[in-house]
């Protein structure tokens, strides 16, 4: 039986893909296979089985150390061929996105990356993603025999694991070590923030003339118990780390409240907040595009409004 | 050390000028420009050259639907590329990443290969991030994505790159394909003098046939079923008054909406 094959370098994303992939597979009359690759892969197999995989292909081949894109693509292409994969769903993490193009090229497959919706339409999976710099959402179907979708983390919810894990297979892979070697690896600093899950988010943009002015936003964030995110330009100035970027090149958030401070509302940013339940904005320019997207708007000097806001929040 | 760096450039519509009418994008008469991340890639190449490498920088593009691609690519030449290579063919007007990658790979071979291939991590308009990886596979070279520092030595290329949760330093022998992220540098704005000089720099143009590809190679592997702006249903309530009244109004609204005081 042909299969949907799922893979991500991030176990939690692989689980999301397996759980939803199982539903697609059942509807399409396909099996669900998962791949676990690299160091510690065998230990992740049972979890993938419990989340829907009928078969888990496990390889800890030494060539997979470091999970370099060329070798992972090679391994997945071989597994996809052995398993007769009709679809390959991979997590659109940085590693996954890098992998998608190379894997698709090996498989002669069309690929859609950064997919944030995947639905079954007329017997085929159709992926939705932002296009035209976020101005539009394109719904794309792949017309090649094998189809590769790189799906954004948290696109699918994960259900309860089920007893009765899938069958673990150790595929015979012919892999050559990557020409890329790892010199150093270190965890990023300031990784504490998880904007994807934050219920209240304050966004800061170019309306803040200098780095020190961001203290005003921090004060409001403390009073609101909100996380602070930013536009790309603020991170480009290195005023905030890049994991705070919201938008096309950063987090796609879904908070209960997004409060935009000094943000004009360029589409590259607003695609990351358009799913917010409520959007409020403070900007000096009454014609700023952010007000088109706002439920509540304040035209004014945020450096005058924010201290008053903090005062009122503290008195609640 | 003599090196040849090919910077692969996508030119895209100026997205600030896209207007939405009845959820449909209005794309007539929008000028093209060199993509944002490709400018970072060009800047990275120029900095390698300015750092003392005897480097030749080639800016290579596949025209796709840009009818004025030669004009657009002057921007890359004005920044500091030594020459431009343009693949232009009517068959490429509606294409996808696989076809663009095939054309890029053939064009790279046509001009004698490169020591280093640079790409943006994604294009400004579509951000798919596929072309660099596909070209690396087609040419059989190692790839390193998301570079925020690049240095070249006789041993090859060393890259510091920014991943989801870690910073990695990687090395690969040349030729290699590297994609860059925006924080790698601040792309220069060309001087008037360099803009004037750009028109005199060599530009080679190839059709698909020149590269040994037929029109079928430009066929898309995907169908776009719809491409519409997201629907937004927002209240658009403006809170008037002095800062005090505006702050009070917003706090009241947030309480009423159930966001505060839960």
The string of pLDDT tens digits covering residues B217-252 is 899 999 999 999 988 889 999 999 999 999 999 999
In a domain, A189, yes or no: no
Contact A69 B143 (CB under 8 A): yes
Instruction: Please report which confidence band the pLDDT of residue A241 belongs to, taking 50, 70 and 90 as the band edges.
Output: confident
Contact B238 A180 (CB under 8 A): no
CB A57 within 8 A of CB A171: yes
CB A248 within 8 A of CB A137: no
CA angle B214, A76, B176 (to 5 degrees): 60
Residue ranges of A 273-302 with Cβ closer than 8 A to chain B: 274, 278-280, 291-301
Say how far residue A154 (Cα) sits from the centre of its chain: 7
A46 and A151, same domain (yes or no): yes
Domain of A56, CATH number, reads: 3.40.50.620
DSSP states of A48-99 as a string?
HHHTT-SEEEEE--GGGTT--HHHHHHHHHHHHHHTTEEEEEEE-SHHHHHH
| Cα A136 from Cα A225, distance rounded (Å) | 32
A145 and A244, same domain (yes or no): no
Of B15, B222, B227, the CB nearest to A143: B222
pLDDT for res A243: 83
- Name which of A72, A108, A111 to mutate to probe chain B: the one with the most chain B Cβ atoms within 10 A of its Cβ: A111
Q: Which residue of B has its CA nearest to A144?
A: B221
Of B18, B244, B257, the CB nearest to A135: B18
Count up the domains in chain A and report the number.
2
Distance from the Cα of B151 to chain A's closest Cα (Å) equals: 13
A212 and A253, same domain (yes or no): yes
Query: Can you give the C-alpha Rg of chain B in angstroms?
Result: 22
| Cα B244 from Cα B5, distance rounded (Å) | 58
pLDDT for A1 beyond 90: no
List CB contacts (< 8 A) between A297 and chain B: 236-239
Q: Specify the CATH architecture of the domain B2-218.
A: 3-Layer(aba) Sandwich (3.40)
Instruction: Please report which confidence band the pLDDT of residue B162 belongs to, taking 50, 70 and 90 as the band edges.
Output: confident
DSSP SS3 for B130 = coil
CB A87 within 8 A of CB A27: no
Q: Give every CB contact of residue B186 below 8 A, 6+ residues apart in sequence.
A: A236, B43
Q: Which residue of B has its CA nearest to A134?
A: B125
Query: Can you give the C-alpha Rg of chain A in angstroms?
Result: 22
Lookup: tokens for A316: 């609640």
pLDDT for res A190: 59
Distance from the Cα of A154 to chain B's closest Cα (Å) equals: 14
CB A97 within 8 A of CB A113: yes
In a domain, A64, yes or no: yes
List CB contacts (< 8 A) between B12 and chain A: 133
For the residues B51-71, what does the mean pLDDT come to? Answer: 95
List CB contacts (< 8 A) between A143 and chain B: 220-223
A30 and A160, same domain (yes or no): yes
A94 and A220, same domain (yes or no): no
Choosing from A129, A153, A169, the residue where a domain stops is A169
Q: Give every CB contact of residue B189 below 8 A, 6+ residues apart in sequence.
A: none
A150 and A241, same domain (yes or no): no
Instruction: Name which of A140, A199, A162, A167 is nearest A55 in CA terms.
Output: A167
pLDDT for res B198: 96
Choosing from A102, A135, A169, the residue where a domain stops is A169
Lookup: tokens for B17: 């000028």
- CATH code 3.40.50.620 region(s) in chain B: 2-218
- Name which of B184, B247, B248, B251 to mutate to probe chain A: the one with the most chain A Cβ atoms within 10 A of its Cβ: B247
End-to-end CA distance of chain A: 61
A53 and A13, same domain (yes or no): yes
A231 and A138, same domain (yes or no): no
Does A130 contact chain B (CB < 8 Å)?
A: yes
- Give the model confidence (pLDDT) of A187-228 as tens digits: 877 556 778 778 999 999 999 999 999 999 999 999 999 999
**Cα dihedral value B124, B130, B135, B140, nearest 10:** 140
Contact A308 B130 (CB under 8 A): no
Choosing from A169, A185, A210, the residue where a domain stops is A169
For the residues A215-243, what does the mean pLDDT come to? Answer: 91
ipTM of the complex: 0.92
Lookup: tokens for A275: 């799913």
pLDDT for B261 beyond 80: no
- Give the model confidence (pLDDT) of A164-173 as tens digits: 779 999 999 9
Full-model pTM = 0.90
Its domain, for residue A230, covers: 195-314
A130 and A206, same domain (yes or no): no
A21 and A142, same domain (yes or no): yes
In a domain, A249, yes or no: yes
How many beta-carbon pairs below 8 A join chains A and B?
257
In a domain, A187, yes or no: no
Instruction: Name which of A125, A161, A117 is nearest A144 in CA terms.
Output: A125
A100 and A202, same domain (yes or no): no
Q: Which residue of B has its CA nearest to A301?
A: B243
Distance from the Cα of B200 to chain A's closest Cα (Å) equals: 32
Distance from the Cα of B197 to chain A's closest Cα (Å) equals: 30
pLDDT for res B236: 94
A248 and A200, same domain (yes or no): yes
- The conformation of residue B218, written as its DSSP 8-state character, comes to G
């Amino acid at each position: 039986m042909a299969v949907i094959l799922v893979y991500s370098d991030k176990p939690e994303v692989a689980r999301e893909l397996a759980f939803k992939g199982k539903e697609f597979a059942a509807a399409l009359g396909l099996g669900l296979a998962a791949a676990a690759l690299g160091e510690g892969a065998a230990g992740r197999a049972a979890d993938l089985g419990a989340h829907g995989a009928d078969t888990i292909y496990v390889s800890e081949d030494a060539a997979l150390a470091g999970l370099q894109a060329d070798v992972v693509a090679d391994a997945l292409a071989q597994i996809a061929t052995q398993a007769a994969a009709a679809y390959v769903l991979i997590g659109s993490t940085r590693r996954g996105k890098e992998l998608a193009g190379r894997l698709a090229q090996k498989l002669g497959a069309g690929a859609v990356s950064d997919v944030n919706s995947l639905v079954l339409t007329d017997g085929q999976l159709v992926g939705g993603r932002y296009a035209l710099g976020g101005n539009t959402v394109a719904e794309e179907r792949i017309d090649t025999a094998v189809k590769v979708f790189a799906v954004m983390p948290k696109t699918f919810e994960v259900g309860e694991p089920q007893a009765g894990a899938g069958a673990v297979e150790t595929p015979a892979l012919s892999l050559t070590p990557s020409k890329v070697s790892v010199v150093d690896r270190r965890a990023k600093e300031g990784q504490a923030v998880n904007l994807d899950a934050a219920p209240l988010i304050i966004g800061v943009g170019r309306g803040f003339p200098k780095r020190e002015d961001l203290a005003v936003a921090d004060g409001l964030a403390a009073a609101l118990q909100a996380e602070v995110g930013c536009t790309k330009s603020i991170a480009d100035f290195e005023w905030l780390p890049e994991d705070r970027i919201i938008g096309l090149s950063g987090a796609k958030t879904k908070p209960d409240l997004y409060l935009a401070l000094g943000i004009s509302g360029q589409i590259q940013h607003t695609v990351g907040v358009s799913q917010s339940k409520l959007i409020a904005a403070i900007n000096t320019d009454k014609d700023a595009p952010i007000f088109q997207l706002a439920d509540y708007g304040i035209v004014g000097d945020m450096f005058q409004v924010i201290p008053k806001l903090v005062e009122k929040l503290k008195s609640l | 050390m003599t090196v040849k760096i090919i910077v692969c450039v996508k030119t895209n519509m100026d997205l600030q000028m896209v207007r939405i009418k009845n959820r449909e994008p209005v794309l007539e008469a929008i000028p093209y420009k060199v993509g944002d991340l490709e400018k970072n890639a060009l800047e990275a190449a120029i900095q390698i050259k300015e750092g003392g490498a005897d480097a030749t920088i080639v800016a290579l593009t596949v025209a796709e639907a840009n009818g004025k691609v030669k004009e657009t690519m002057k921007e890359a030449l004005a920044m500091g590329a030594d020459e431009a290579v343009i693949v232009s063919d009517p068959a490429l007007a509606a294409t996808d990443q696989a076809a663009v990658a095939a054309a890029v790979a053939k064009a790279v071979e046509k001009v004698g290969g490169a020591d280093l291939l640079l790409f943006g991590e994604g294009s400004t308009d579509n951000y798919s991030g596929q072309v660099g990886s596909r070209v690396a596979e087609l040419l059989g070279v190692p790839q390193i994505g998301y570079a925020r520092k690049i240095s070249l030595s006789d041993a090859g290329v060393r890259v510091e790159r920014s991943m989801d949760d870690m910073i990695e330093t990687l090395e690969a022998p040349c030729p290699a394909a590297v994609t860059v992220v925006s924080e790698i540098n601040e792309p220069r704005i060309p001087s008037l003098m360099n803009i004037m000089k750009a028109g005199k720099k060599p530009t080679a143009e190839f059709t698909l046939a020149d590269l040994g590809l037929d029109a079928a190679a430009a066929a898309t592997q995907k169908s776009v079923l719809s491409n519409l702006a997201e629907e937004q249903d927002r209240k658009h309530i403006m809170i008037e008054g002095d800062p005090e009244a505006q702050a009070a109004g917003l706090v009241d609204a947030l309480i009423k909406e159930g966001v505060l005081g839960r």
